């Protein structure tokens, strides 16, 4: 895995050393010496990670980080702040500014590359989600910022050290909803539920904390759950291994209350951001196959499903039927009562249609006042009976329009066809049903016509 890394440091020697180390590991390196330039490069070139020195003249690393995280164009880029060895205050201040991680001077190459690889994987996931959105500026994040503050999260503390677990619990309970679990098996099951952050003691005696983290990362239901590992400060090997496994963050003992709180907020805020992106993506995919007015599937979805069913039937599988339904004299509704009333009729018709077909049937809006129902496993006669039941239900009770002030009698015409033989195609099936629909309209409307091949 390679990545583009922006190194920001006002000391030229530091920049050259980092550039050399990163280049040897096949990373692309961008560099600058001050905060304002870093903001410009980040917005323009979209690096995968930013290595940001804390101490710089003018705009220091904290202010630079705050501005990066405040800008929708750059807030998704992981920021690793470079601090002094004893920089506890720097770490807390950096986390509060939005930093994703830290490396300390002198920089340990193995730890640095482990953190870079870990954050590169995270950035890759974020980019895959963001690429499916129109643009980062139009995600509506400001609208949802209150729920992305990183507080009020459900935190699972997995630790068999009762004293340490209770201390962490007490430190988090003011801002979050922490729960303590001392059994790794129970924690693994709980990870599949509504958890915002899991904190694992890597030095637990009754279970292997890193093995638990690996199991969580390998399970589909929990692979995106943020993991924070508590580790001994001298246990460099386990720290590197944790990052290689995909752990999101590492906190060394003794646990500092302020740093724990800041890291928890960072992880929960990031999770809510990625959850928001996934929800937006799921919504976009749903909208791609759903008619927004009626809530039924749209023509695109109907076409792909009918193609699959017709192909299966042509190869000797179960038959499939299709009905095409049209609301009679719908133009008169729009002309006489207005398009809002017409929309009310379409929505009510969709409800009645959906309640009169089987659970496996696919009612779809084909366009305008025309609807299609795809019926897997249905014969021509069975589909005709269902279509007539729908016709009677539509005409049997008036539609309430104009906010319930008016009652309108609505009728429909329908054409029905079913697969017939190995050479039948979706196009031919729809054409027969459409011809049957026109025959029903020509013969007086408010009726169902079934057309065999």
Task: Give 31's DSSP letter.
Answer: E
d(CA 84, CA 52): 12
Query: Where do we find the tokens 């870079």?
Result: 116
Using alpha carbons, select from 33, 53, 55, 30 the residue that is nearest to residue 42. 30
Task: Please confirm, yes or no, whether 234 is among the known catalytic residues.
Answer: no
H-type helices in 209-317, by residue range?
A: 209-218, 236-245, 257-288, 299-314
Residues 258, 112, 68, 222, CA torsion sign = negative
Task: Classify 370 as helix, strand or coil.
Answer: strand
98 and 65 Cβ atoms separated by less than 8 Å: yes
d(CA 34, CA 8): 7
d(CA 352, CA 394): 7
Q: Cα 195 from chain centroid?
A: 16
Q: Which helix (H) or strand (E) holds 270?
A: helix 257-288
- What are the phi and psi torsion angles at 79 (to 5°)? -115, 125
202 and 231 Cβ atoms separated by less than 8 Å: yes
What are the tokens at 246?
Answer: 């995909």
In terms of Cβ atoms closer than 10 Å to its own Cβ (0-12, 13-18, 19+), residue 106 is exposed
Strands 197-201 and 177-181: unpaired
Task: Choose, from 344, 348, 369, 384, the residue flagged as catalytic.
Answer: 369
d(CA 88, CA 65): 17
Using alpha carbons, select from 397, 407, 394 the residue that is nearest to residue 341. 407
Task: Classify 371 as helix, strand or coil.
Answer: strand
Say if residue 203 is preceded by a cis peptide, omega within 30 of 0. no
Q: Active-site residue numbers?
A: 369
């Amino acid at each position: 895995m390679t990545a583009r890394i922006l190194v920001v440091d006002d000391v030229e020697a530091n920049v050259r050393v980092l550039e050399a180390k990163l280049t040897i590991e096949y990373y692309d390196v961008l560099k600058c010496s001050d905060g304002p330039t870093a903001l410009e490069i980040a917005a323009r070139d979209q690096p995968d990670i930013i290595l940001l020195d804390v101490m710089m003249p003018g705009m220091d690393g904290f202010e630079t980080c705050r501005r990066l995280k405040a800008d929708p164009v750059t807030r998704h880029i992981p920021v690793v702040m470079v601090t002094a060895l004893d920089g506890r205050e720097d770490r807390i201040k950096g986390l509060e500014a939005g930093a994703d991680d830290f490396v300390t001077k002198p920089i340990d190459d193995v730890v640095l590359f482990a953190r870079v690889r870990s954050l590169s994987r995270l950035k890759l996931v974020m980019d895959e989600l963001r690429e499916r959105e129109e643009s980062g500026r139009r995600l509506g994040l400001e609208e949802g910022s209150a729920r992305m503050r990183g507080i009020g999260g459900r935190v699972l503390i997995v630790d068999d050290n009762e004293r340490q677990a209770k201390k962490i619990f007490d430190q988090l309970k003011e801002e979050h909803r922490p729960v303590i679990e001392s059994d790794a098996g129970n924690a693994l099951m709980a990870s599949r539920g509504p958890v915002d952050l899991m904190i694992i003691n890597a030095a637990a005696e009754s279970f292997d904390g890193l093995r638990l983290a690996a199991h969580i990362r390998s399970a589909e239901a929990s692979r995106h759950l943020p993991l924070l590992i508590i580790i001994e400060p001298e246990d460099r090997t386990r720290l590197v291994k944790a990052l290689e496994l995909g752990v999101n963050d590492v906190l060394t003992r003794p646990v500092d209350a302020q740093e724990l709180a800041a890291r928890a907020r960072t992880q929960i805020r990031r999770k809510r951001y990625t959850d928001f992106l996934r929800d937006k993506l799921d919504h976009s995919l749903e909208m791609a196959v759903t008619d927004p007015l009626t809530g039924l599937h749209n023509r695109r979805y109907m076409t792909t499903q009918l193609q699959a069913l017709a192909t299966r039937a042509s190869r000797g599988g179960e038959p499939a039927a299709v009905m095409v339904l049209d609301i009679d004299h719908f133009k008169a509704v729009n002309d006489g009562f207005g398009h809002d009333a017409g929309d009310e009729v379409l929505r009510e018709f969709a409800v009645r249609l959906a309640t009169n077909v089987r659970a496996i049937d696919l009612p779809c809006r084909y366009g305008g006042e025309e609807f299609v129902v795809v019926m897997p496993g249905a014969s021509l006669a069975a589909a005709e009976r269902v279509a007539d039941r729908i016709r009677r239900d539509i005409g049997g009770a008036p539609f309430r329009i104009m906010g319930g002030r008016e009652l309108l009698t609505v009728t429909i015409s329908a054409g029905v066809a079913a697969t017939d033989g190995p050479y039948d195609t979706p196009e031919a099936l729809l054409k027969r049903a459409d011809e049957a629909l026109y025959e029903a309209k020509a013969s007086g409307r408010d009726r169902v016509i079934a057309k065999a091949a």
